[in-house]
Chains A and B, each alone.
Chain A
Amino acid sequence: MIKEEFDAIVIGAGMSGNAAAYTMASDGLKVLQLERGEYPGSKNVQGAIMYANMLEKIVPDFRDDAPLERHLVEQRLWVMDETSHTGIHYRSDDFNEVKPNRYTIIRAQFDKWFSRRVRGAGATVLCETTVTELVRDAKGKVIGVRTDRAGGAIYADVVVLAEGVCGLLGTRGGLRKMLKPEAVALAVKEMHFLPEEVIEQRFGVKGSEGCVIEAVGTISHGMAGLGFLYTNKESISLGIGCLVSDFAAKMESPYGLLDALKNHPSIRPLIAGSEVKEYAAHLIPEGGYKAIPQLFGDGWVVVGDAAQLNNAVHREGSNLAMTSGRIAAEAIIQLKRRNDPMTKRNLALYKTMLDKSFVVKDLRKYKDMPALLHTNACNFFTTYPRLMSQAAQNFMRVDGTPKIEKEKATTAAFIKARSRLGLVSDAIRLALAWR
């Protein structure tokens, strides 16, 4: 048995776990962080875009030595059908600021860096150590953890569960329910390596400027899903994700979708000649506000993906993870300073603080969005993209048809596909969910 007791044990060394461990250790708490991977980042998968403001709140000088790929100056949002894409591109020189707002990162490298900072702040980090069980006292308060290593339990005042999307430990420990297939997406991605100058040329960027494309449409084969292409320094992350329940219902394979995306005439030239060196898959929480489980209890809090904190509409996850980790840590620090015990009642402070942050406010704003998109997947991801493509082509193609007839044909196509009532109700429901 280990006699030594910690102020806090953080389970997992992803974004939320590192944020929590760093914040607590920086304040002088005695922190133990446990990670099952060989090194922090070895098991972590993300697209990935990192949002600077949220990291700055935790590690203000991160730009000095964090492994950042490109800062983003251009965002392309595409609606795709089988042969075309219709897009909104936003590019601004304003993004070439001293402290840029968004960066592409490679998690295996970034998380290693973050963990070095966590260690530097004074936390003890153990890798290749899987937590198998939460240890409770007679009253059910979580007082420590047991791992897959020999030697018994380790004790702490509070356990921060940053165990990631599957959250097996928390579900096994009865802290929350099992993940539902309709509340989680499966995303697959490949790393396409290309020389730096080829990427600069293809995307019209220079130096560390970067460009991202995010796309919806027939690429998800009628399922609720999103495709993405992110430029790194010397590689392109290309991937696509759809709801697990949709994959199951449609009997589609994730790699099949990714293969089709790679061969799409709009994507193919962007990755031509590249060498694929890595592929990865990961689950993403998609349930939104309504899927957020109980966030705290006697001796424990849950943060990041394990708490389902992911904004699917804005494709934000890691910033919510970091922020929830930081806020949980700040709540624990406050209790510690006041010498308050880590009871359920006291740890409710974490939820109160989180509710006031953008994390919960944003998720509440889109609370109806998952249900709408998931039940109407076919309309939003197939019918409308096709109609949009047809309309655009109708508008662009010059073939001697009088313009008034072209417009009528476009209108007719929309009405035929969804009926007047359907169009109006889709518009209203979308507007309501967005509000």
Chain B
Amino acid sequence: MHIVVSIKQVPDSAQIRVHPVTNTIMRQGVPTIINPYDLFALEEALRLRDAYGGEVTVLTMGPPMAEDCLRKALGYGADRAVLLTDRYFAGSDTLATSFALSQAIAKIGETFGPPDVVFTGKQTIDGDTAQVGPGIAKRLDLFQLTYVAKIASIDLAAREITVERRCEGGTQKLKSRLPCLITMLEGTNEMRRGSIEDALCAARSRIVKWSAAEAGIEDLTKCGLRGSPTVVKRVFAPTPRSEKAVQIDTAEKTLRDLADELIGAIFTRQPALEPELAFEAA
């Protein structure tokens, strides 16, 4: 089977700093990592390949330096890496990104064989939208299975996949036809350590680099800033809460006084509660 995993290079949020004056993220000099959620997708893809045979292609869109994260993915054992890089992609929002990625996946299908499963992470840690995966599925007309916690079984002959999907209030067991797109939930597996062969391979393999034209994208108005209806109006840091926790001295008071004091303190802060509670007491 052929599995495509779409990943993103993101700044390491553990080492990121916000500019105290402009409130913008200071990206300069911040090390980059593979979006941690994507690692669960990649590992799941590698496990499927190991169990059923085939190939894993990793794909990312980004600046030339995004090659680093692809090389890392190859080091984990992916078979092939494609970097979609072009200045036309700069400033893409989720709509433009999912357009470009879906076109690239179609091209990957033409070039290296049609994918049976496309994986993405649940969301990225820098955008947090969780929109790109579903966006790709929609454009490529793939069945989409989001927030998948486990792949229960795959029947390649019948072209069917059964997964467990985490949802509000429980777990759904879903069966879908292939090909499909899966966004993988975090904490569902643990990324492996690539073997020495994988590491050697990653250090030397050539990464496929496609410009917009090479990926077969003709409509450039759907790419980058031009294809992005989202506008960032303002970036701001949350204001710290002015109220601090109040400490009450318990040693010198009776329980009744203490209770009265507590209720009094609550009512001064939340006056709306007083008539309601007083009514209930009556």
Give chain A's interface residues, CB within 8 Å of chain B: 2, 4, 32, 124-126, 128-129, 147, 149-152, 154
Contacts and interface: CB of A to CB of B under 8 A. Distances in A.
A376 B166 CA distance: 70
22 contacts: A2-B196, A2-B197, A2-B200, A32-B200, A124-B203, A124-B204, A126-B199, A126-B200, A126-B203, A128-B75, A129-B196, A149-B193, A149-B194, A149-B195, A149-B196, A150-B195, A150-B196, A151-B195, A151-B196, A151-B197, A151-B198, A152-B196
B118 to A, nearest CB: 28
Contacts of B198: 149, 151
A150 B188 CA distance: 23
B23 to A, nearest CB: 20
Contacts of A124: 200, 203-204
Contacts of B196: 2, 126, 129, 147, 149-152, 154
B19 to A, nearest CB: 16
Nearest to B29: A109
Interface residues on B, range: 10 to 19
> Among A32, A124, A128, A149, which residue has the most Cβ atoms of chain B within 10 A?
A149
A128 B72 CA distance: 11
Nearest to B194: A149
Nearest to A126: B199
Contacts of B193: 149-150
B136 to A, nearest CB: 31
A234 to B, nearest CB: 12
Given A125-B203, A150-B196, 15 more contacts: A2-B196, A2-B197, A124-B200, A126-B199, A126-B203, A128-B75, A128-B199, A129-B196, A149-B193, A149-B194, A149-B195, A149-B198, A151-B196, A151-B198, A154-B196
Interface string B164-207: 00000000000000000000000000000111111110011000
* Closest 7 pairs between A and B when the two form their complex, measured CB to CB: A151-B195, A151-B196, A150-B195, A149-B196, A126-B199, A151-B197, A124-B203
A149 B202 CA distance: 14
Contacts of A2: 196-197, 200
Contacts of A32: 200
B110 to A, nearest CB: 32
Contacts of B199: 126, 128-129, 149
Contacts, number: 34
The secondary structure that dominates the B interface is helix
Interface of B: 75, 193-200, 203-204
A147 B195 CA distance: 9
Contacts of A126: 196, 199-200, 203
Contacts of A129: 196, 199
A147 B196 CA distance: 8
A232 to B, nearest CB: 14
A149 B204 CA distance: 17
A129 B202 CA distance: 13
A339 to B, nearest CB: 26
Contacts of A125: 203
Nearest to B193: A149
Nearest to B204: A124
A126 B74 CA distance: 12
A129 B199 CA distance: 9
A149 B193 CA distance: 7
A277 to B, nearest CB: 11
A187 to B, nearest CB: 25
A4 B199 CA distance: 14
A150 B196 CA distance: 6
Contacts of A128: 75, 199
A7 to B, nearest CB: 15
A126 B204 CA distance: 10
Nearest to A42: B31
A150 B197 CA distance: 8
Contacts of B75: 128
A338 to B, nearest CB: 29
A2 B197 CA distance: 7
A158 B194 CA distance: 25
A138 B249 CA distance: 77
A130 to B, nearest CB: 11
A232 B44 CA distance: 46
Contacts of A4: 200
A154 B199 CA distance: 12
A118 B75 CA distance: 19
Contacts of B194: 149
A265 to B, nearest CB: 33
> Among B194, B198, B200, B204, which residue has the most Cβ atoms of chain A within 10 A?
B200
B198 to A, nearest CB: 8
Contacts of B203: 124-126
A251 B199 CA distance: 44
B75 to A, nearest CB: 8
Contacts of B195: 149-151
Nearest to B195: A151
Nearest to B202: A126
B47 to A, nearest CB: 15
A4 B196 CA distance: 12
Contacts of B197: 2, 151
A302 B161 CA distance: 55
A359 to B, nearest CB: 31
A159 to B, nearest CB: 15
B218 to A, nearest CB: 36
B115 to A, nearest CB: 27
A353 B94 CA distance: 61
A324 B198 CA distance: 32
Nearest to B192: A150
